[in-house]
Each structure stands twice: as C-alpha cells, then as structure tokens.
C-alpha cells in the first residue's frame, strides 16, 4: 500500500520519487552553496570562540523563541509553526525514506504510536497558527510587515502541506484502520465524513495516493524554493544566533587597520556575519516598528537597511564571485547613494531598539556605523555636524567652548571638589560635556556635587583636563576623532589617581565601560551615578529625611538600559525616596529613545516637529494618571524632554526632573547653602 510501490505509467513510483528528490535536493544544495559563497565575499570576523555560550544563544533564542513571545499574537502562532516544522521534519524524513525504499519496512510516523498523534495534532496547530498569523498579516496589517508574493506563497505552501498530510491520513484510514496502538484522532475525525460518501469510499485508495504524492511534491518544491525566498531565515537564523555578538552591544568594532579604508559601502568591505544578516532576516518588521526615527517620518528603517544589503548582495554578489578579487572600482555600485541614502544613515539615533527586538539576532548598529564611517571618510558631512566634530577635535567639546571653562560650574559651590590630577580620590567623576557646559544642566551638576559632598563620598574631577569621551563621535562614524579623544582621556587617567569612576551621562558610561580597554583591565570599574546613589542609599550613607509624596514615572535611557542592562538601580533610588513609581507602557527594554543619541543632537532636525520621539514620550508620560514628574537619568534626555514640554505645551502638566534633583530634595543635601 505504499504509494511509491505502484507504477505511474511505465515507471515505478519510487523511481520517480528518487529523481524528484535528487532534483529538488540538488537545487537546494546548489542554492545554499551559492549563498555561502556570497557570504564568503565578506571580511573575516572571528565568531568561533566561546562555543558553549553560543550554543546557549541558539537554545534560548531559536528554540526558546524568546524574543517573539513578547508579542503573543505573533509569538504563539510562530512557536506552533516552528515546532510544527521541527516535528514535521522528522515525520517527513520517515515518509520519504519509505517512499524511496518501498521494500524496506521503515518506522514512519504514521505507524508509530505517540509520534503519529503528535504529528497530527501539530498539523492542526500549525493550521491554527497560520490562521491567526494570516489574520494579523492581512487584516490587522501591522506596519513594517511587507505583504509580498513570496510571503503569501510560503504561507500557502505550509498550509497545503498540513492539509494534504491530514487528508492523506484521513483517506488512509478510510481504506483501512490504523496500526495497532496508533491513535489518530484527527485522521479519524476526517475519515468519518470522507467515508460517508460511497464514491469517495470507493476511490479512497486513489485519493490517499493522490494526497500522498501532492504532499511529497509540495514538500520537494518547498525544499527547492526555500533558499530562494525570505523563508531561508529558517536555515540562516540558527547560524545568525550562533554567531551573534557575545560582548556588550555598547562596544563597537574598531577600525580594521591603518591601510584599509575606513568604513564600508561595498559588499567585500562588510564582514561575513553582517552579510549573513541579510539571509537571516525574516522581514518581520519588528525592528522598524520600534525605530523612533522611522516613527518621526525619517526614511531611516533598520529593516530596509538589511533588506538593501540583501538586494546588493543578490544583485552584485554573483559578479564578484566570478571575479575572485574585485578591482578598486569593483564595478559594483556603492551602497551609499545607490540603494541606501545618506539621509537614512544620519537619521539613526543608535538607540538599539532594532537589535534588541530582532528575533534572529541581527546586529543593525555596526552595519549602520560602518556606512557612516565611510560617509565621514569621504567628507560627506553636513555643516552642523561638521562644526560639532571640529569643535570636538579642537576644544574637546561639541559646544565650541574653551576647554578652560569646563570646570566653571564649580564656582557655584561653597566647597572646591578634589582635583583627581593632583590628589588621590576614591571616585573619579567623569562629567561629560553636557553636565559640564550646558546652561540648563549646571544647576543639576552642582546639586549632585553637594549631595555627594554631604554623603562624604570621596570624589574628584579632572577639571580642565577632561575631554568629551567620544561615545557619540564614534557612533557618528568619526572613528579617528574617537581614538583621538580616547587617547587624550586615557593619558589623563593614567596620570590621575582614583579607584573607580562614575558618570552622570549614560553615553559616557557606555564608552568608558565598554570601549576604554585600558580602564577595564581590572583596575577601575565604571558606574553610572544612579548605581552609586542606589548603593549610598542602600548602605545608609544617604538618608532620606523628606520622603517625596509624588507620583513619578521613569524614562530608561537607551545607553543605560538597552545597552548596559541597568534598569533597577535608578528604580531602587526612586523607591527609596518614597515616590510612587508608575511605569509607562514603553519602559525598560522597550523605552522610547528621546531622539538625541547617535549624534542627532548635532544634526538638523528633519521631519514633522510634532511627531518627534521626545514629544511622543512626554505625551506618554503625561497620559499617566496623576503623574506630575518625568524622572530622567541622562542629561540629553533632560534637555530633549524639557524642549518637548515647551513644544507640546505640556509645561504646566508635567515636569522633567533629573534623579539628582529628587534625591537632593528628599535628602535635603543638594540645595544651595
């Protein structure tokens, strides 16, 4: 009764199956090897270290489907389809083997207890999952989800596979009962109505064979089609997860070398892992939906970025494979100015929401920064940004203020902070340029100095020797400037005497913690000031004498939260102050960027003023019942949100306060004498 045992015309079924299998497998293998050769166009990148940790990534993110489950409407159906696929792979293997070797007795799923049931049930679950996801895709139409023919075809093929399987099974049961011990509830349920029609009953065997063959044909077609469609993410995702970045996302890869041109704009200048992103991307649009710049109406979209990389790879990669090494001009048009515009690249705030949400662990940021590095290398930088970069190089701050004025803020204090260049201190306070120079922030900086002084924290500053630490210069693509600033600061650190350091600015914190290797060789540890405050309050060095009766919401800064996982310390501080902490919907890892990162504060604002992320965020905070204070822990957030309050007219309704101000009020130490 095995369908391939029969002849179709003059040829035995199993022979036809062999031919089709070899054909399909051949196409599959050829295509996959072609894709791998495309990947090999990319630069080297050692991602073969720490194998156990990498396997864990695959376990958690691929088999655990961790990221998808935060959106249950898509997560649950996808889990069903995913595991349905896993189960079906087993079932199909058995089925094919039986078909290829009809003379051998192969334990197919059909005839195995438990397995048969499981496969069946999964077929139904997969259909259910497809129904929900299709409803979401075609009726709800979430933004960013591309309604392509390819996607539709894949859905149809999966559905068809399930349906043909179930129908084959149903008809098989009409022909004769299942094997002993095998329980096929769905098959039985189908067989019922099918068996009622005498015509169907008479031809049940034919239908069984028909649906069996249809299932196999669709399967073989799918196999060959798979690596040609976006569904190849199935094959690539486990690898993209395995080869994902294990180190902190706040550490960008350094420039390749002195002789190599900085940045990337042609295929061979990207790493193979970056090119792999193109194949792993399932075009789900989760990154795009999370992107604050995209929401503002900028052409910037992480999904589009990866998609364009894929386009470039598929279109021009083959020619490059043919010529073993590309000529200087390549013949390959550059990505920038071709598929990707400079405007798209400058629109990014580097908030990391895209990479945070990506289910296949793609790393959009380093690709974007490599492209920006190339723009900078070509000198294609607009005037405002250029001015900021020139000021950074010359004066060590983007404001164009004399470096001699960096410590002017201390003049409002009734004590002189210790000079870490001259005497040893326990804590080095790296202020960052905003806290030191921006007129709206000087009061807060002084407050923090008083709070720490009052708590008898042994801290010091670098006075005029501090320079911008380079986090945003690096993210803007000016790698040389970053190195220059890092060198200067590192030399200053070497001469200063301190144990650990902390910063008021998450951007400074990020780069000190992750990108200043000389600091991190176990000698000094970098902290954010909220971690220090949490510790002081926890140990009783800072006493809350006036608990604050406010309802407060807290905005997680990108570089503190998503980049470095510091979500709890600021919340501990707030709770210790006695406030009632109310969370916004978009909090912790889902926090909405204020729009100022990635050097955006140094660029022209494009897009509709009233769609800006900072406005959206203050409205979100103001919508919380009875919440009057939006607490922040980043100076750029403070400036961005204060401006947004003005442009939205919410100044009376909501106040923006740095955590320092609240701590100062609650401990009675930060106010001026």
What is the contact surface with another protein in residues (CB under 8 A)?
Answer: 255, 258, 262, 376-377, 379, 381, 383-384, 386, 389-390, 393-395, 400-402, 404, 439, 478-481, 483-484, 604-605, 609, 646
User: Rounded to whole angstroms, how far apart are CA atoms 292 and 615?
Assistant: 11
We find the least distance from the C-beta atom of residue 398 to another protein, in angstroms, to be 13
Helix 13-39 and helix 302-322, axial crossing angle in degrees, nearest 10 = 100
We find the least distance from the C-beta atom of residue 235 to another protein, in angstroms, to be 38
We find the least distance from the C-beta atom of residue 402 to another protein, in angstroms, to be 5
We find the least distance from the C-beta atom of residue 299 to another protein, in angstroms, to be 19
We find the least distance from the C-beta atom of residue 262 to another protein, in angstroms, to be 6
Q: What does the block give as tokens for 377?
A: 């290398």
What ranges make up the beta strands (E) of 529-619?
551-554, 580-581
Q: What does the block give as tokens for 328?
A: 């200087």
Length of the chain: 673
Report residue 656: phi and psi, to 5°: -100, 125
We find the least distance from the C-beta atom of residue 273 to another protein, in angstroms, to be 24
We find the least distance from the C-beta atom of residue 302 to another protein, in angstroms, to be 25
We find the least distance from the C-beta atom of residue 532 to another protein, in angstroms, to be 31
We find the least distance from the C-beta atom of residue 421 to another protein, in angstroms, to be 21
- Residues in CB range of 11: below 8 A, 6 or more apart: none
We find the least distance from the C-beta atom of residue 391 to another protein, in angstroms, to be 9
User: Rounded to whole angstroms, how far apart are CA atoms 587 and 627?
Assistant: 15
- Judged by beta carbon, residue 36 or residue 254, the one nearer another protein is 254
- Judged by beta carbon, residue 225 or residue 482, the one nearer another protein is 482
Q: What share of the chain is helix, strand, coil (3-state, %, to 5)?
A: 60, 5, 35
User: Rounded to whole angstroms, how far apart are CA atoms 385 and 641?
Assistant: 21
- Judged by beta carbon, residue 117 or residue 647, the one nearer another protein is 647
3-state secondary structure 113-175: CCHHHHHHHHHHHHHHHHHHHHHHHHHHCCCCCCCCHHHHHHHHHHHHHHHHHHHHHHHHHHH
- Judged by beta carbon, residue 427 or residue 463, the one nearer another protein is 463
- Judged by beta carbon, residue 479 or residue 658, the one nearer another protein is 479
- Judged by beta carbon, residue 472 or residue 479, the one nearer another protein is 479
CB 282 within 8 A of CB 230: yes
- Judged by beta carbon, residue 423 or residue 604, the one nearer another protein is 604
User: Rounded to whole angstroms, how far apart are CA atoms 278 and 272?
Assistant: 10
We find the least distance from the C-beta atom of residue 254 to another protein, in angstroms, to be 12
We find the least distance from the C-beta atom of residue 481 to another protein, in angstroms, to be 4
We find the least distance from the C-beta atom of residue 466 to another protein, in angstroms, to be 17
CA distances from 519 to 86, 246, 421, 432, 512 (A): 47, 20, 16, 17, 7
CB 512 within 8 A of CB 483: no
Q: What is the DSSP letter of 528?
A: E
Bin 21: left if φ > 0, else alpha if -120 < ψ < 50, else beta. Answer: alpha
- Judged by beta carbon, residue 405 or residue 551, the one nearer another protein is 405
CB 5 within 8 A of CB 102: yes
- Residues in CB range of 586: below 8 A, 6 or more apart: 592, 620
CB 638 within 8 A of CB 444: yes
**For residue 393, which of 453, 481, 462, 304 has the smallest C-alpha distance?**
481
- Judged by beta carbon, residue 45 or residue 387, the one nearer another protein is 387
CA 475, distance to chain mean position in Å, is: 16
Burial of 234 (0-12, 13-18, 19+ CB in 10 A): middle
We find the least distance from the C-beta atom of residue 442 to another protein, in angstroms, to be 12
CA 22, distance to chain mean position in Å, is: 39
- Residues in CB range of 145: below 8 A, 6 or more apart: 137, 283, 284, 285
Residue whose tokens read 């707030």 = 574
- Judged by beta carbon, residue 443 or residue 480, the one nearer another protein is 480
How many alpha carbons fall within 13 Å on the CB side of residue 225?
17
**For residue 571, which of 669, 638, 659, 480 has the smallest C-alpha distance?**
659
Bin 350: left if φ > 0, else alpha if -120 < ψ < 50, else beta. Answer: left
- Judged by beta carbon, residue 174 or residue 345, the one nearer another protein is 345
CA atoms 242, 246, 252, 256: torsion sign: negative
**For residue 535, which of 657, 650, 413, 426 has the smallest C-alpha distance?**
426
CB 223 within 8 A of CB 187: no
CB 644 within 8 A of CB 617: yes
We find the least distance from the C-beta atom of residue 477 to another protein, in angstroms, to be 9
- Judged by beta carbon, residue 301 or residue 642, the one nearer another protein is 642
We find the least distance from the C-beta atom of residue 386 to another protein, in angstroms, to be 5
- Judged by beta carbon, residue 254 or residue 623, the one nearer another protein is 254
We find the least distance from the C-beta atom of residue 618 to another protein, in angstroms, to be 17
Residue whose tokens read 């995702």 = 237
User: Rounded to whole angstroms, how far apart are CA atoms 671 and 224?
Assistant: 71
């Amino acid at each position: 009764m095995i369908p391939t045992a029969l002849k179709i015309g003059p040829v035995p079924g199993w022979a036809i199956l062999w031919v089709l299998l070899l054909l399909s497998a051949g196409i599959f293998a050829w295509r996959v090897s072609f894709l791998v050769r495309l990947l090999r166009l990319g630069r080297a990148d050692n991602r073969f270290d720490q194998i156990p940790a990498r396997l864990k990534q695959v376990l958690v993110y691929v088999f655990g489907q961790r990221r998808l489950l935060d959106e249950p409407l898509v997560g649950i159906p996808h889990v069903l389809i995913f595991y349905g696929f896993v189960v079906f792979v087993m079932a199909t293997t058995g089925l094919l083997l039986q078909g290829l070797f009809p003379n051998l007795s192969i334990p197919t799923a059909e005839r195995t207890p438990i397995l048969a049931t499981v496969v069946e049930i999964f077929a139904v679950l997969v259909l259910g999952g497809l129904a929900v996801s299709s409803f979401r895709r075609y009726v709800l139409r979430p933004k960013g989800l591309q309604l392509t023919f390819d996607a539709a075809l894949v859905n149809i093929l999966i559905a068809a596979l399930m349906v043909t399987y179930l129908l084959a099974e149903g008809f098989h049961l009409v022909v004769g009962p299942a094997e002993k011990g095998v329980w096929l509830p769905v098959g039985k349920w189908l067989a019922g109505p099918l068996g009622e029609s005498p015509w169907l009953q008479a031809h049940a065997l034919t239908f069984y064979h028909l649906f069996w063959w249809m299932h196999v044909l669709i399967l073989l077609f799918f196999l060959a089609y798979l690596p040609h469609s976006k569904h190849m993410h199935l094959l690539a995702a486990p690898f993209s997860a395995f080869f994902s970045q294990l180190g902190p996302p706040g550490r960008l890869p350094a420039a390749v070398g002195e002789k190599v041109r900085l940045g990337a704009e042609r295929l061979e200048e990207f790493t193979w892992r970056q090119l792999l992103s193109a194949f792993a991307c399932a075009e789900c649009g989760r990154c795009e939906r999370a992107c604050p710049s995209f929401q503002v109406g900028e052409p910037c979209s992480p999904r589009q970025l990866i998609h364009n990389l894929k386009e470039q790879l598929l279109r021009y990669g083959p020619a490059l494979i043919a010529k073993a090494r590309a000529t200087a001009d390549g013949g390959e048009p550059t990505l920038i100015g071709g598929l990707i515009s400079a405007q798209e690249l400058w629109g990014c705030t580097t908030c990391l929401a895209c990479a945070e949400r990506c289910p296949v662990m793609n790393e959009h940021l380093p690709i974007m920064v490599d492209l920006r590095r190339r723009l900078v290398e070509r000198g294609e930088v607009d005037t405002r940004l250029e001015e900021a970069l020139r000021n950074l190089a010359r004066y060590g701050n983007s404001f164009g203020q004399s470096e001699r004025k960096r410590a002017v803020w201390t003049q409002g204090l009734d004590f002189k902070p210790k000079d870490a260049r001259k005497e040893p201190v326990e804590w080095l306070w790296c202020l960052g340029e905003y806290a030191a120079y921006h007129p709206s922030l000087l009061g807060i900086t002084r407050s923090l100095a008083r709070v720490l002084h009052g708590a008898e924290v042994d801290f010091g500053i670098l006075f005029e020797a501090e320079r911008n630490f380079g986090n945003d210069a690096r993210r803007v693509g000016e790698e040389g400037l970053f190195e220059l600033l890092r060198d200067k600061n590192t030399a200053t650190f070497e001469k200063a005497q301190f144990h650990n350091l902390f910063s008021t600015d998450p951007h400074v914190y990020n780069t000190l913690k992750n990108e200043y290797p000389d600091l991190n060789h176990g000698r000094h540890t970098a902290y954010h000031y909220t971690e220090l405050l949490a510790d002081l309050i926890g140990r009783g060095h800072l006493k809350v004498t006036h608990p604050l009766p406010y309802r407060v919401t807290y905005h997680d800064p990108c570089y503190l939260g998503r980049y470095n996982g510091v979500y709890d310390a600021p919340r501990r501080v707030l709770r210790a102050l006695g406030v009632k902490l109310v969370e916004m919907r978009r909090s912790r890892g889902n926090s909405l960027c204020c729009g100022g990162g990635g050097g955006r504060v140094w660029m022209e604002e494009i897009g509709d003023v009233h769609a800006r992320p900072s406005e959206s965020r203050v409205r979100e905070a103001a919508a919380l019942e009875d919440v009057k204070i939006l607490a922040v822990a980043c100076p750029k957030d403070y400036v961005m949100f204060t401006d947004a309050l003005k442009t939205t007219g919410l100044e009376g309704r909501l106040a923006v306060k740095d955590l320092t101000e609240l701590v100062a009020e609650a401990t009675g130490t930060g106010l001026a004498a």
